[in-house]
Structure 1
Amino acid sequence: MAILRMGYAHVRVTDLAEARQHYTQTLGLDEVAAVDNKLYLKGWDEWDHHSVVLEEGGVGVVKFGFKVQYEDDIAQIENRAQKFGVTTERVSKGEEFEVGEILRIHSPSGHFFDIYSEITSGQSDVGNVNPEAFPRDLRGIGAPAIDHALITAEDVGQMERFLHDVFGFWTAEKVATTLDPADQHNIAIWTTGTNQIHQLAVLEGPQAKLHHFAFRLEEGWEITRAADIMAMDDVPIDVGPTRHGITRGKTVYFFDPAGNRNEVFAGGYLSFADRPMVTWTPDMIAKGIFYHARELNERFTTVLT
């Protein structure tokens, strides 16, 4: 069983035209289709049909898609999910645009996760034969790909068990109330199933909410340039440019026109299943989140969609 990566984020926006401008011109994603009041987008270094779905009508996340390597992985994850005790359903091929058969999981946090192996696929914008380092016609930030997401849940411990037992993820880092395992309560976790430092993070909070979804950049200097582009485009910046203590990544947080929080993220160390987990204590959470300023603004901890 192998979850390769987060395949797509499907989020709601209040105005599709405004969202199109933000995601294609500021973030620099490619528009690949517009169907049934939904906009389908991808980064220049992604080969699957889409990695972002924007649906007009509100805010927040509709669902996340996770791609697995083999079709048999879907059944294995289904068995694990049913054993864990969560609700699952099968979605026929074609019901989700350009996606094959889906296992939809109703997670303990109230979020919906789509597990699939088949999606219309092609090549990245630079191609597969003698490619250039990046496309000449990048727009705005020129984000290559989606990276990860942070969601909230009332019971972080339950979500951690779910991600471990069903997805096969491990916890790379966490914020816990104490270092004593016998009396430990997790406030936040950063989980992954690959050497990517995190694919899905979970923060204690209300059910079924989105804190942010993030796009990958390659170099630290690109984070500063991204903030400059946001300033040029009058995009509201939440925090940054700065560095995380947790994951060591460089970051800028900002908002799309609907109020959904985005992030661009670069760097971070490699995670492996046998790497010792990093634990942060509550008194150091500000340093963990924003390593330089070591302060959390109220907006960062309270604004969810």
Structure 2
Amino acid sequence: MAQEQIHDVAHLGHVELLTPKPNESLHFFKEILGMEEVARQGQSVYLRGWGDYQLYSLKLTESPQAGLGHIGMRTFSPAALERRALAIEKTGYGIGWAEQGDIDHGLTYRFTDPDGHRMEIYYEAVKYTPPAELRPSLKNQPQKNTARGANIRQLDHLNLLTSNVDADSQFMMEHVGFKMSEQLILDDGKRGAAWLHVTNKSYEIAYTSDKTGAKGRLHHLTFNVESREAVLRAADIFLDNGVYIEFAPSKHAANQTFFVYVYEPGGNRIELCAGGYLIFAPDWEPITWTQAERAKGQAWGNATVPTFHTYGTPAVE
């Protein structure tokens, strides 16, 4: 019988992205992707998609190198926060408590996964209240749909490069509360990739084997849009604005999302996606792909671009 899921973490809340080109990256996220700036603090700018219920979903921070700053996840309650913090502390990967997290949330517990990706969990969070010019007509929508740029709706998921997919995925399942939706098992029996979820989305965090052997790197950060047509429209916007398109629009075999991949000016890989499937079965068994099956490419046979298996941030030789 499958182990019952730990229902303490509610969802992926925000991601801090590091960039050596803060002005250019900010222009990309605001004008090309269409995000709203909500605050600035120190070397960081906080941004949101029109469908995010919290104050922000992206913290963009100036840094010498591109990459991941940290991942923030909201828990279901203060008690859930205490339970997860205690469980994570026992693993030896805890960093500790902070009375004040980023600008939108309070008491925060910080930790890393085994590979060194920095993470935090919190409960207290500021819900977004739009100014008059962004007040929506529909009361059940966080803000007005501005239809600027690619018009991203909200934070969707991220893919982390790791030196040990098994160690990181097991840590997230056993101690944080994620479940596995899909996995790639290599010919040598090792897990080459794992897709994990806490909501009924098929994944919020994916781990992919880092071919360089480096630790703690970012593969990509993803925002969702409303439709496949919106992904295609975004590709045209990227083309017109000189944004490098690494992987033209297609459909993933794993998780079935329709996608386009680009590099933002700081060097981080960004995906826009639509679709995918939802999981309702409480006894879902992970879908397993073989190395030969994944070598066939994406859902319609499109070959995966070579840099997809080698590039990440920060870049390594």
- TM-score tier, shorter chain, comes to over 0.9
User: Is 1:186 the counterpart of 2:222 in the alignment?
Assistant: no
The Cα of 1:268 is off from its aligned counterpart by 0.6
Structure 1: runs of 5+ lacking an equivalent: none
Distance 1:265 1:85 in 2: 35
Give matches, 1:1-305, under 5 Å.
1-57=7-63, 58-93=65-100, 95-123=101-129, 127=136, 130=139, 135=144, 137-177=146-186, 184-205=189-210, 206-272=214-280, 273-287=282-296, 290-305=298-313
Kept in 2, the 8 Å contact 1:99–1:116? The answer is yes
The Cα of 1:135 is off from its aligned counterpart by 3.4
Kept in 1, the 8 Å contact 2:32–2:238? The answer is yes
Kept in 1, the 8 Å contact 2:225–2:231? The answer is yes
Distance 2:237 2:89 in 1: 46
Kept in 2, the 8 Å contact 1:86–1:106? The answer is yes
For residues 211-239 of structure 1, give each alpha carbon's deviation from its aligned partner in whole angstroms, at most 9, with x where no partner exists. 00100112111111111111111111110
Specify the code of the residue in structure 1 equivalent to 2:81: I
Distance 1:249 1:97, change over 3 A: same
Number of aligned residue pairs: give it. Answer: 299
Greater Cα offset, 151-160 or 115-124: 115-124
For residues 157-197 of structure 1, give each alpha carbon's deviation from its aligned partner in whole angstroms, at most 9, with x where no partner exists. 1111101111211110010025xxxx831000000011111
The Cα of 1:134 is off from its aligned counterpart by 8.0
Specify the code of the residue in structure 2 equivalent to 1:106: T
State the SS of the aligned residue for 1:7: strand
**Percent same amino acid among aligned pairs?**
26
Greater Cα offset, 115-124 or 203-212: 115-124
Distance 1:65 1:73 in 2: 15
TM-score for the superposition, normalised by structure 2: 0.89
Structure 2: runs of 5+ lacking an equivalent: 1-6
For residues 43-64 of structure 1, give each alpha carbon's deviation from its aligned partner in whole angstroms, at most 9, with x where no partner exists. 0111211110111122100101
Specify the code of the residue in structure 1 equivalent to 2:303: E
Kept in 2, the 8 Å contact 1:80–1:165? The answer is no
Distance 1:166 1:234, change over 3 A: same
Kept in 1, the 8 Å contact 2:8–2:84? The answer is no
Kept in 1, the 8 Å contact 2:50–2:142? The answer is no
Distance 1:29 1:282, change over 3 A: same
Specify the code of the residue in structure 1 equivalent to 2:117: H
Distance 1:45 1:136, change over 3 A: closer
Specify the code of the residue in structure 1 equivalent to 2:75: V
The Cα of 1:287 is off from its aligned counterpart by 3.8
Distance 1:117 1:72 in 2: 9
Kept in 2, the 8 Å contact 1:48–1:120? The answer is yes
Kept in 2, the 8 Å contact 1:84–1:165? The answer is no
The Cα of 1:130 is off from its aligned counterpart by 4.1
For residues 251-295 of structure 1, give each alpha carbon's deviation from its aligned partner in whole angstroms, at most 9, with x where no partner exists. 00111001100001111111244222111111121446x222442
Distance 2:28 2:110 in 1: 29
Distance 1:253 1:109, change over 3 A: same
Distance 2:93 2:228 in 1: 40
Kept in 1, the 8 Å contact 2:243–2:264? The answer is yes
